[in-house]
Amino acid sequence: MGWLAFSFLLLIWELGSRLNPALQPYLPPVSRILSTLGEVVLSGQIVSHLMITLSRFLQGYLLAASMAVILGTVLGYFRLAHSLFEAVIEFLRPMPSVAIIPVAVLLLGIGDAMIVAVTVYASLWPVLINTIDGVRHIERTLIDTGRTFGLNRRKILWQVVLPAAAPYIVTGLRISLSIALILVTTAEMVAGSKGLGFFILDEERSMNSSNMYAGVILVAVLGYLLNRLFLLCEAWAMNWRRGMLARESI
């Protein structure tokens, strides 16, 4: 039924646009958008933009994730480090991360490095905050038990602290996923000459609305697929935890 409602909406769109040519520059018929999408994908015109966006996204996201987990673990584990950086974090965090784009342009110019840097900055925060939270909220008994069993610091970190904080870290990683995509597309719009964000804005400025909509659909599909992929990885990586929770509930 939901699909029916959705198709009905598309049908109205299609008919409304076909019967009303004045509307077409803004809202071309769905069928035309889809055929345009097919064309730009097959001709490879959009594929290069897609690959550029994807590679910037991956670089930024993975770099941010690894930096944030390491930094977050340190800040969560060592009380002194946390008390030192707390004020810095609290000052920087409420600033909308896109405000960093002009600074990045000054420092790095216009190009891949700038876009990746901006993405790293923005997607760092959720993972960092969640990792700190996760590490700080570990039950003391877990760590004490580890010590009693004679684990050294490194083993406690790998076998006790990180697994216990993992659910928090995963939450942060999921939030950062969509933030990273937002920042890549935004940076491409504000200061880029390639990538899907640039493509969409550029097509809008040249009034090629079909191309623009095709780009929007492609970004949405990309976001959807990345999210799906993340959930798959999460289910695979956190399988042990589901078993544990199930056992607890019995």
Range 137-147 burial, b when 16+ CB lie within 10 A, else e: ebeeeebeebe
| Closer by beta carbon to another protein, 17 or else 146 | 17
115, 192 Cβ separation under 8 angstroms = yes
Amino acid occupying residue 224: Y
Secondary structure element (H or E) that encloses residue 34, with its range: helix 30-42
Least distance (Å) from another protein to the CB of residue 208? 10
- Residue 97: name the closest of 182, 3, 204 by CA: 182
| Closer by beta carbon to another protein, 83 or else 239 | 83
Least distance (Å) from another protein to the CB of residue 193? 15
| Closer by beta carbon to another protein, 27 or else 151 | 27
Least distance (Å) from another protein to the CB of residue 163? 26
Amino acid occupying residue 192: G
| Residues contributing to the site for another protein (CB under 8 A) | 1-3, 5-6, 9, 26, 79-80, 82-88, 91-103, 105-107, 178, 181-182, 185-186, 189-190, 197, 200-201, 203-204, 209, 212-213, 215-216, 219-221, 223-224, 227
| Closer by beta carbon to another protein, 58 or else 162 | 58
Least distance (Å) from another protein to the CB of residue 65? 18
57, 197 Cβ separation under 8 angstroms = no
- Residue 96: name the closest of 125, 68, 117 by CA: 125
